[in-house]
Amino acid sequence: MTPAPAPESPAPADLSLEEVVLTARGIATAVTPPEGLTETQAQLLQAIASSLTGYEVDYHSLEPLGPEELAEVLAHRDMDHRQRIVHHMVLAEMILRPLPVEVAARVAKYAKALGIEDDFVRVARRYAQGAYGLAWMDLQRSGFEEHVRETGDAAVATRRMPSKPLDPPKVDPELEARWVAFRDNPPDSLGRRVVELYDGRGFILPGAPGGAPEYLAQHDFVHVLADYGTNLRGEIEVFAFIGRADPDPKGFAWLATLIGLFETGFIDSTGFFDRDVRERHAQGAGMHLRIADAIRRGKVVSEACQTDLFLVDYYALAERPVEEVREILNVPEKSEAVRGIGSPGAFDPEGMSELQRRFAEQRKVAQS
């Protein structure tokens, strides 16, 4: 177990290889199913550890470490740090389908030992019990929806936004006109690029009949700023980024929800995305590195801005160049490893779904 290239986000100055290995041992012990840690779990956890700490840990060959021992290792760390560790456990168990009851119960023991009472631990236990509807209700009431609605309330206080951000959108000609006006912005501006993202894929503009809710459309600005595609794997990346960029650990709900929708099928619909498990997206080639890097990049933004990206007033920034807005929010580049394996960007055809690519090709032919 040797140091990896230095992480592009700052790890705690006193973080040692010994602590990283001991923490990895505790996480692996907590999430290992009866037949052994899966390759997807091992790859994802190893990639996250490397991205966030700069140390390479082989999750295939770790000795067990019990909950009390892990609690002793992390006793000097604050609540936020320990809660993030629990979230790494939850992520590693949530990608299992089926999710063994003993794994969910074990993760709950580790969370309790670390002094963490976390809604997502309970959600995972519901999944393990097969109570998917109850799990989604828990996620809505105690994690996802509560956090989203709190964010929506703050957005309402700062500018005209829906008081219930995930409710079906209403036709809003004024909002649609604001988005149409982005087409007149400079070519390299954030507003121009985000409306080009919509136009190039046949997306309906917010405010128009059938358009996305204004609150949810906030994440499309992040697609452009973080340069992630709009197919399902790109959506997992962008919400891993957004969730970790949120200074509130409840932002993890975004990634937990996307995994439930597109990886395991635990969630049927959120009202803005519907379940799609035709592929195991988190198990796709290189996805462990892409998810880990998105988490790393979100951590950099969180430490610099301490702002939920759904609360950023992108309309006030719409005329500024994309690169300038990236500097304002301190959005780092993708890692060399991820650029090497390929993480399609917002305007890369490989980052589009089949339907989106087909629309883009037909539009190109029509314009030629």
How far apart, in whole angstroms, are the C-alpha atoms of residue 103 and residue 270? Answer: 26
Three-state secondary structure readout of 136-149:
HHHHHHHHHHHHHH
pLDDT per position as a tens digit, 23-64:
999 999 999 999 999 999 999 999 999 999 999 999 998 999
- Give residue-wise pLDDT tens across range 129-160: 676 565 555 555 544 555 555 555 555 444 44
How many Cα atoms are found within 13 Å in the side-chain-facing hemisphere of 270? 26
Flag the least confident range among 15-19, 68-72, 209-213.
209-213
Structure tokens at 170: 């209403």
What number of other Cβ atoms are within 10 A of residue 262's Cβ? 24
Question: From CA 46, how far away is CA 291, in angstroms rounded?
Answer: 11
pLDDT band at 294 (very low <50, low <70, confident <90, very high): very high
Q: Which residue has the tokens 């994309």?
A: 322
Q: State the CB neighbour count (10 A cutoff) for residue 244.
A: 26
Give the separation between CA 291 and CA 234, rounded to whole angstroms. 10
Residues 71 and 58: their CA atoms lie apart, in Å, by 21
pTM of the predicted model as reported, rounded to 2 decimal places: 0.84
Q: What is the mean pLDDT of the chain?
A: 84
Tell me the CB-side half-sphere exposure of residue 324, using CA atoms within 13 A: 11
Phi, psi (degrees; rounded to nearest 5) at 58: -85, 105
Give Rg (Cα) of the chain: 20
Distance CA 332, CA 334 (A): 7
Q: Can you give the pLDDT at residue 252?
A: 83
Question: What is the DSSP-derived secondary structure letter of residue 169?
Answer: P
pLDDT of 318-346, one tens digit each?
999 999 999 999 999 999 999 998 899 99
Whole-number pLDDT of residue 277 = 44
Q: Evaluate the omega torsion of the peptide bond into residue 98 and state whether it is cis, within 30 degrees of 0.
A: yes
Separation of alpha carbons 252 and 248, rounded Å? 8
Helices and strands (H and E) in the chain: how many: 18, 0
Closest CA to 53 of 4, 2, 114, 1: 4
